[in-house]
């Protein structure tokens, strides 16, 4: 199969998740003249922050340039981990032992927070602690995983990870492409758009007004407040939270110079037969591997389709072009899916940072939480909550991600000119297994 034959007749260049949780239609609500808190961006970060400020009695409005949830929060792979990429040794050498431990603890806290929140608010979003199988794409990587597993280097929490050698891999995954792998049993999966829709309802119930298709165009500082110019008029706010993450722009130059927006691409296949699903994906685990240009994939919650994501191009591209490339890589792992077509292909912009860590805090009176480095389902929820508590003066405690330096780079002003060479370097490293 090649070219346009790869797509089903009903192919959509939009998220599969929108089939079960459509985005909120544009309302005709007016922008009020003034609020206590204005939040820009209606993804997980903005909504969790708003719940805190509204429940603390602050009049809160959220605006979004598109429909609420249009950003990454209804487009992602629905994989939940403890979200912190650098390990303890690296964190300790950068920030000292105490802060390194706090960072890792908050990673764990983000995983636990989202589970508790979903359960206590009774959000129907297929949350399940399914565990993750992380495949080793070379023998050397398998040995590294096995070493790490036998000498756990995380002094903060018990991951309960265990290795799966190649000869036992069949019980995890129907592919010969890996040299074994590691299982993290506590990682979880979710339907991200159903989670966003449920969260939106909780936010509304808390008394927050959500105004879609209302883009913030300028933030001006007044004496004791801010005046925000939007496409629906001007609003005055005592406090402002910027929750734009991978869609951060020249609206907030300080943040734009620190956040690297990178496209992440993903496809859903058409439905596949039950016995084939069982053979390829005998469990409901979420999946990823040791490549620098990591693949992330999983069965859909109904176990009828495969979702497969990754970075397949040097430059940002159209989902119609990324779809066939992802399909090629999917088939390299599972040749049985050669004739399986693509029903959906989409993309979104994730926010990376130069230190591979998320950041949350306040700058010149503007609050932010951002830079989840592709792991924002749990962490955007958690840091949204934490920043909301700060804004509502519910706590003076600053998250560990507000205590570490948030740096840009000389000659970087929001355009990632280094992305294509970095992708090439990662491809080479993946090929030689380094
Ligand atoms: C394809 C893909 C797969 C992913 N998979 C995973 C995964 O499996 N696990 C995981 O943990 N994370 C994953 N992520 C990342 C995760 O989805 C994000 O980290 C998270 O959703 C960020 O939430 P947010 O609320 O901060 O930002 P978003 O949900 O992106 O929301 C930002 C919002 O800000 C709005 N906005 C921007 N500028 C303005 C403006 N000027 N005025 C008004 N509104 C504005 C945008 O319209 C947007 O709706 C994935 C992301 C993508 C794209």
The DSSP secondary structure of 328-368, one letter per residue, reads: HHHHHH-GGGTTPPEEEEEEEEEEE-TTS--EEEEETTEEE
Predicted pLDDT of residue 2: 62
Q: Is 152 helix (H, G, I), strand (E, B) or coil?
A: coil
Q: Is residue 376 part of a domain?
A: yes
pLDDT in tens, 220-246: 999 899 999 999 999 999 999 999 999
Q: Is residue 173 part of a domain?
A: no
Q: Is residue 240 part of a domain?
A: yes
The Cα angle at residue 377 between residues 226 and 431, in degrees rounded to 5? 120
Q: Ligand 1: distance of its center to the CA of 171 in Å?
A: 34
What is the total count of domains within the chain?
A: 1
Q: Kindly state if the Cβ of 50 falls inside 6 Å of ligand 1.
A: no
- 3 and 24 Cβ atoms separated by less than 8 Å: no
The Cα–Cα gap between 241 and 387 comes to: 8
Q: Kindly state if the Cβ of 70 falls inside 6 Å of ligand 1.
A: yes
Average pLDDT estimate for 33-44? 98
Predicted pLDDT of residue 434: 63
- Substitution candidate for ligand 1 out of 26, 356, 377 with most atoms within 8 A of CB: 377
Average pLDDT estimate for 189-210? 98
Predicted pLDDT of residue 372: 97
Is residue 45 scored above 90 in pLDDT? yes
Predicted pLDDT of residue 4: 64
- Substitution candidate for ligand 1 out of 187, 376, 382 with most atoms within 8 A of CB: 376
Q: Is residue 254 part of a domain?
A: yes
How large a percentage of the chain has pLDDT more than 90? 83
Is residue 420 scored above 90 in pLDDT? no
Predicted pLDDT of residue 357: 98
**Token digits of residue 391:** 């804004």
Sorting pLDDT into bands at 50, 70 and 90, what band is 116? very high
Q: Is residue 81 part of a domain?
A: no
Sorting pLDDT into bands at 50, 70 and 90, what band is 157? confident
Other C-beta atoms lying within 10 Å of the C-beta of residue 424 = 11
Predicted pLDDT of residue 253: 97
Sorting pLDDT into bands at 50, 70 and 90, what band is 196? very high
Predicted pLDDT of residue 1: 65
Is residue 433 scored above 80 in pLDDT? no
CA-nearest of 407, 269, 263 to 344 is 269
pLDDT in tens, 393-408: 887 889 999 999 999 9
* Among protein residues, the one whose CA lies closest to atom 3 of ligand 1: 76
Q: Is residue 411 part of a domain?
A: yes
Comparing 83-97, 150-164, 275-289, which segment has the lowest mean pLDDT? 150-164
The Cα–Cα gap between 338 and 290 comes to: 23
Domain that holds residue 250: 17-76+194-260+354-423
**Where is pLDDT greater, at 239 or 316?**
239
The Cα–Cα gap between 227 and 407 comes to: 27
Comparing 24-33, 275-284, 299-308, 402-411, which segment has the lowest mean pLDDT? 24-33
The Cα–Cα gap between 182 and 150 comes to: 11
Q: Kindly state if the Cβ of 255 falls inside 6 Å of ligand 1.
A: no
pLDDT in tens, 125-138: 999 999 999 999 99
Comparing 25-39, 216-230, 308-322, which segment has the lowest mean pLDDT? 308-322
The Cα–Cα gap between 143 and 128 comes to: 29
Give the nearest ligand 1 atom to 215 CA.
Answer: 42
Q: Is residue 122 part of a domain?
A: no
Predicted pLDDT of residue 3: 61
* Among protein residues, the one whose CA lies closest to atom 32 of ligand 1: 244
CA-nearest of 414, 335, 302 to 175 is 335
Predicted pLDDT of residue 270: 98
The domain that holds 409 is classified in CATH as 3.50.50.60
The Cα–Cα gap between 93 and 88 comes to: 9
Q: Is residue 34 part of a domain?
A: yes
Average pLDDT estimate for 91-118? 97
The Cα–Cα gap between 210 and 389 comes to: 19
Torsion of CA 167, 172, 178, 184, to 10 degrees: -110
Sorting pLDDT into bands at 50, 70 and 90, what band is 93? very high
């Amino acid at each position: 199969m090649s070219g346009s034959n790869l797509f089903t007749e009903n192919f959509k260049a939009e998220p599969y998740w929108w089939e079960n949780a459509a985005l909120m239609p544009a309302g005709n609500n007016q922008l009020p003249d003034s609020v206590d808190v204005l939040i820009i961006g209606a993804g997980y970060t903005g909504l969790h922050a708003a719940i805190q400020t509204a429940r603390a009695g602050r009049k809160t409005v959220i605006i979004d340039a598109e429909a609420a949830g249009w950003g990454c929060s209804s487009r992602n792979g629905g994989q939940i981990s403890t979200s912190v990429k650098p390990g303890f040794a690296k964190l300790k050498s950068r920030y000292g032992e105490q802060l390194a431990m706090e960072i890792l603890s908050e990673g764990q806290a983000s995983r636990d927070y989202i589970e508790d929140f979903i359960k206590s608010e009774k959000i129907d979003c297929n949350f399940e602690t399914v565990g993750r199988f992380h495949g080793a794409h070379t023998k050397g990587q398998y040995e590294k995983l096995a070493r790490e597993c036998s000498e756990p280097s995380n002094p903060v929490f018990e991951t309960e990870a265990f290795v799966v050698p190649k000869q036992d891999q069949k019980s995890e995954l129907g592919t010969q492409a890996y040299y074994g792998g590691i299982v993290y049993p506590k990682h979880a999966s979710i339907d991200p758009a159903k989670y966003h829709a449920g969260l939106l309802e909780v936010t509304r119930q808390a008394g927050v007004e959500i105004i879609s298709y209302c883009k913030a165009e300028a933030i001006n500082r007044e004496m004791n407040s801010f005046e925000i110019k939007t496409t629906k008029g001007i609003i005055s706010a005592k406090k402002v939270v910027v929750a734009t993450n991978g869609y951060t722009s020249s609206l907030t130059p300080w943040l734009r110079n620190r956040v690297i927006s990178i496209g992440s691409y993903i496809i859903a296949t058409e439905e596949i037969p039950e016995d084939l699903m069982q053979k390829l994906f005998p469990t409901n685990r979420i999946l990823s591997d040791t490549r620098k240009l990591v693949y992330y994939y999983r069965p859909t919650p109904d176990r009828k389709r495969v979702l497969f994501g990754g970075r397949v191009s040097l430059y940002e591209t159209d989902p119609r072009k990324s779809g066939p490339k992802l399909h090629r890589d999917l088939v390299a792992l599972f040749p049985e899916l050669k004739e399986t077509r693509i029903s959906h292909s989409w993309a979104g912009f994730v926010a990376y940072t130069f230190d591979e860590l998320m950041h949350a805090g306040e700058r010149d009176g503007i609050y932010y939480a951002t830079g989840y480095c592709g792991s924002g389902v749990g962490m955007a929820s958690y840091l949204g909550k934490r920043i909301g508590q700060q804004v509502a003066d519910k706590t003076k405690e600053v998250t560990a991600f507000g205590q570490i330096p948030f740096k840009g780079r000389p000659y970087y002003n929001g355009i990632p000119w280094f992305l294509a060479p970095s992708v090439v370097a990662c491809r080479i490293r993946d090929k030689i297994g380094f």
